[in-house]
Amino acid sequence: MAKTKILLIEDDKSLARLIKGAMDQTKFEITVALEADEGIDKAMMEKPAIIILDVLLPAKSGFACLREIKSNSKIKKIPVIILSNLGQAEEIRKALELGAADYIVKADFSIDEIIKKILKYLK
């Protein structure tokens, strides 16, 4: 069976490694992008089943990235979950308005809980 592709746009390498390590490698293929543009390129190429997107990224913010994803007809149907440590009501609202499927504040969840949330969108 082909592995489910997941794209993780996250510039913090150690956090990306922790998420990757906690997921079942036999079922999922996790690609990491360190920047928004790299993430959009990889999304176009790999057509992942889901995109996990950080907000504070080096060159372009996650919000700008989300906007581009949602206005690109080739990838706009892929669900995007925001995974950030920003998390005021206004940021959450903004992300949802831009078309995010969910908004997860990193520090609020254990790694298993985050993975459960991700899996929910893959069903």
Partner 1 sequence: MVYVIIFHMVNGKRFEEIKSDFITIASHQLRTPIAGIRWSLDTLLSDKAGKISDKQREIIGEAYQNNNFLVKAVNDLLRAARLEEKGVVLTPALVNIVPIIKEVIRKNKTFADAYNCRIELKLPTRPVKVYADSLQIKPVIESLVDNAIRYSKDKCLVEVSLKMVKDYLLIAVKDSGIGIPPSQQSQVFTRFFRANNAIKTQTEGLGLDLYINKKIIDASGGRITFSSIENKGTTFYVYLPLNSKVADKNKISERQQADSEAENLLKKEREFVSITIHELKAPLGATKWSLEMLRGGKSGKLNNDQLELVDQIYRGNERLLVLVRDLLDLAKLQAGEFDVNSQPLELKVILNDVVTAFKAEAQRKKIAVNLPAAEKLALKITGDSNRITQVITNLVSNAVKYTPVSGQVTIGVKKVTSEELKKIATQTRTANIRHLASRKGYLILSVKDTGVGISDEEQKKLFTRFFRGKNVLKSKTEGTGLGLYITKTIVNLHQGDIWFTSKLGKGSIFYISLPLAS
Residues lying near partner 1 in the complex (CB under 8 A) are found at 11-12, 14-15, 18-19, 21-22, 55-59, 61, 63-64, 85-93, 105-113
Measure the N-to-C terminal CA separation of the chain; round to a whole number of Å: 16
Token code pair at residue 9: 């746009």
Tell me whether residue 92 or residue 100 sits nearer to partner 1 (CB atom). 92
Least separation in angstroms between CB 90 and partner 1? 7
Least separation in angstroms between CB 109 and partner 1? 7
Tell me whether residue 17 or residue 74 sits nearer to partner 1 (CB atom). 17
Least separation in angstroms between CB 89 and partner 1? 4
Tell me whether residue 2 or residue 89 sits nearer to partner 1 (CB atom). 89
Cα atoms found within 13 Å of the Cα of residue 54, Cβ hemisphere only? 24
59 and 15 Cβ atoms separated by less than 8 Å:
no
- Vertex 18: Cα angle to 16 and 22 (nearest 5): 120
